[in-house]
Amino acid sequence: MKPRIVILVDNKKRDLPGSALLAYHLEQRGIEVFLEPLEAWRACLAAHKPHMILFNHLLGSHLVQYSQELHSRGILVGVLPNEGILYDKEVLAFNAAKFHNQAHIDYFFVWNQAHKEAIEEGNDGSIRHVEVVGVPRFDFYFPPLAPKKTSPSPTILLCSNFVFAQYADKDPGVADKLFAPWKERVSSYRDYWKLIHTNHRSRKKFFEFLESIRSFPKEYHFILKPHPGEDHEIYKRWYSKLSEEEKRHIRLDTQSYIWELIPQCDIEIACETCTTTLESWIAGKPTIELLLEKAPPFYHEFLSRMSLTCDTPSKLKDRIDLALSGDSDKVFKPEREKHLAKWCDSPSGHSTEKLSKIISEALQDTHPDFSRLDWSHKRKGLKLKLLSKLNLPYNYNPFSISKLFNPKKYLEKKRIIEKNIRPSDVKEWRGKIDDAMKRSQKEPSK
C-alpha cells in the first residue's frame, strides 16, 4: 500500500495552488495525497487513514490535543506555516510554538533560519525535526509555472493589505474571538482595537491614492488587487462608480492569484509592509511603498529603505515614472537579495521539491494504527466523504439559523465557507499543475 498524506488547506485563494504543487511532487515519489479543507482536520483521519497530516499551524488547544492523538496512533504530524516572514520577535516566538509546546510535531517546515532558531530555542523536545525549506508557494515565480507578461502598456499593480480594517464594521465579538489567542501573549496585539482602527484609517488614505489614478494618462494601466482576506465589497463599490473610460485603464481583480498578477506588471505598489513586495523582488519588479500611518506592525522602516516610497497622492505619478525608468531599482538590488536570502531561503523555484523529498523519506518507515477508531471518528469521516461527493465544503450547513436571525454572524460564517476548498477546486488546480509540468517536459531544453 502506498504511503498516504493529508494536506489541510486553510484558504483556497492563498494556499490551494501551492498545496496542489506539493501534491504533484509527492505523487511523483509514489505517495497518495488528499487535499482537504482545514475544518476537516478531524474527519480526514477515518476518511483517508493517512500516514501523515500536514497542518498550517497547531496553535489552538483542540489541535494540540489532536496532535497527541495522532502521535499515539503512529501518524506523523507536520506543520508548514502559510505565513512565515515574522519580523516581530514576539509574533515569531508565538508562531514558533513557544506557548504550545505540549503539541506533538514530527516535522516543522519553516521558511527561514530565523524561524528555525526561534523554534529550537523554546523547544522542549515535542518538536522532533525542524527543516528550512524556503517558501513553497514562491515556486510559482519560476518556470514552468510563472506566467509571462502579455500587455505592452505600462502596467501598475496596486496591492491593498487591510485585513484588520473590516473588523471595525463587524460585531465586536468577531474581533474578540480572532485576537483571543494573541492578546495576552503578544504585546503589539494587546490593544487590538487600536490596530483595527489604525488599519481602518489607513484604508481610507489608500482610497485617496486610488482617486488620484483616475486622472492619470490613459497609457498607464492599473490593476487593483485587494488582499484575499479583506472585505472586497468596499473596493467593488468604489470601482462601480468609475466611468467606462476609466475602467478601460483601471481593472479590479479579486479572483486572480497574486503570483499570476505580479509577472504581468511593470511596477508593484504595496501599502506599507506587505509580502507582495518581496514576491515582486523575486519576480524582478520595481516596487513602491505607500506610506500611510507608519504604525507597527503594519510598517517596518528597514523594509521601506529597499523600495521607492510615496506619502501623498500628488507625488504618485512622479514615483511611478521614476520606477519605470529602472534606474532607481538597481540601488536596492543588493540589499533585497540579502533580505530574500535571510527570510525566504533565496528563492530558486525548488522549495516544493525539497519539501516533498523530506516528507517522502519520513514516510518510508511509518506504520499507523487505525484499529481504535471510534464511532465519532467514523461518523465524521463518512460526513466528509458524502459532502465531497456533493462537491460541498466540510462545514457546509444549509440550516444555519444565523442566516435568518443574525445576518451579520451568518456573513462571517459565509466568508469562512467560501474560503474552504471543494473537490472541484482541488481537481481544477491539480489539473493545472499536471498540464504545466507536461508542457515543460515537452519543451526543448535551451
Average pLDDT over residues 114-121: 90
pLDDT (tens digit, 9 = 90+) per residue, 328-343? 788 899 999 999 999 9
Structure confidence at residue 312 (pLDDT)? 97
> Could you give the 3-state DSSP secondary structure of residue 310?
strand
Distance between CA atoms of 20 and 430, rounded to whole angstroms?
5
Determine, yes or no, domain membership for 333. Answer: yes
**Helices marked H in 229-374:** 233-240, 244-247, 258-261, 275-282, 301-304, 316-325, 329-344, 351-363
What's the pLDDT band for 349 if we cut at 50, 70, 90? very high
Distance between CA atoms of 109 and 129, rounded to whole angstroms?
8
Structure confidence at residue 94 (pLDDT)? 77
Q: How many domains does the chain have?
A: 2
Structure confidence at residue 88 (pLDDT)? 85
For residue 262, give the C-alpha cell.
Answer: 505580479
Determine, yes or no, domain membership for 147. Answer: no
Q: Are residues 172 and 305 in the same domain?
A: yes
Q: Where a domain ends, among 344, 372, 396?
A: 344
pTM of the model: 0.89
Q: Are residues 135 and 161 in the same domain?
A: no
Q: Are residues 239 and 333 in the same domain?
A: yes
pLDDT (tens digit, 9 = 90+) per residue, 254-290? 999 999 999 999 999 999 999 999 999 999 999 999 9
Quick check: 258 and 158 in contact, CB under 8 A? no
CA 192 from chain centre, in angstroms, equals: 21
Q: Are residues 302 and 185 in the same domain?
A: yes
Q: Are residues 356 and 328 in the same domain?
A: no
Q: Which domain holds residue 249?
A: 155-344
Beta bridge partner(s), residue 109: 131
Structure confidence at residue 234 (pLDDT)? 96
Q: Are residues 190 and 308 in the same domain?
A: yes
The CATH number of the domain holding residue 9 is 3.40.50
Q: Are residues 100 and 179 in the same domain?
A: no
Average pLDDT over residues 371-388: 93
Mean pLDDT over the full length of the chain? 91
Distance between CA atoms of 238 and 299, rounded to whole angstroms?
25
Distance between CA atoms of 185 and 98, rounded to whole angstroms?
10
Q: Where a domain ends, among 318, 344, 370?
A: 344
Average pLDDT over residues 195-200: 97
CA distances from 189 to 32, 86, 178 (A): 40, 14, 11
Quick check: 308 and 289 in contact, CB under 8 A? yes
Q: Are residues 211 and 254 in the same domain?
A: yes
Q: Are residues 124 and 78 in the same domain?
A: yes
pLDDT (tens digit, 9 = 90+) per residue, 209-224? 999 999 999 899 999 9
- 292's torsion region: left (phi>0), alpha (psi -120 to 50) or beta? alpha
Selection from 14-28, 74-88, 97-111, 116-130 with the highest mean pLDDT = 14-28
Q: Are residues 32 and 79 in the same domain?
A: yes
What's the pLDDT band for 111 if we cut at 50, 70, 90? very high
What's the pLDDT band for 139 if we cut at 50, 70, 90? very high
- CA nearest neighbour of 208 among 273, 268, 293: 293
Distance between CA atoms of 58 and 81, rounded to whole angstroms?
10
- Is 99 a residue whose pLDDT tops 60? no
Q: Where a domain ends, among 312, 344, 376?
A: 344
The CATH number of the domain holding residue 159 is 3.40.50.2000
Structure confidence at residue 406 (pLDDT)? 61
Determine, yes or no, domain membership for 149. Answer: no
Beta bridge partner(s), residue 78: 54, 107
Q: Are residues 304 and 248 in the same domain?
A: yes
Determine, yes or no, domain membership for 148. Answer: no
Residue 57 or 270, more confident: 270
Determine, yes or no, domain membership for 146. Answer: no
Q: Are residues 358 and 302 in the same domain?
A: no
Structure confidence at residue 445 (pLDDT)? 54
pLDDT (tens digit, 9 = 90+) per residue, 432-446? 999 999 988 776 554
Distance between CA atoms of 204 and 292, rounded to whole angstroms?
10
Average pLDDT over residues 224-230: 93
Determine, yes or no, domain membership for 150. Answer: no
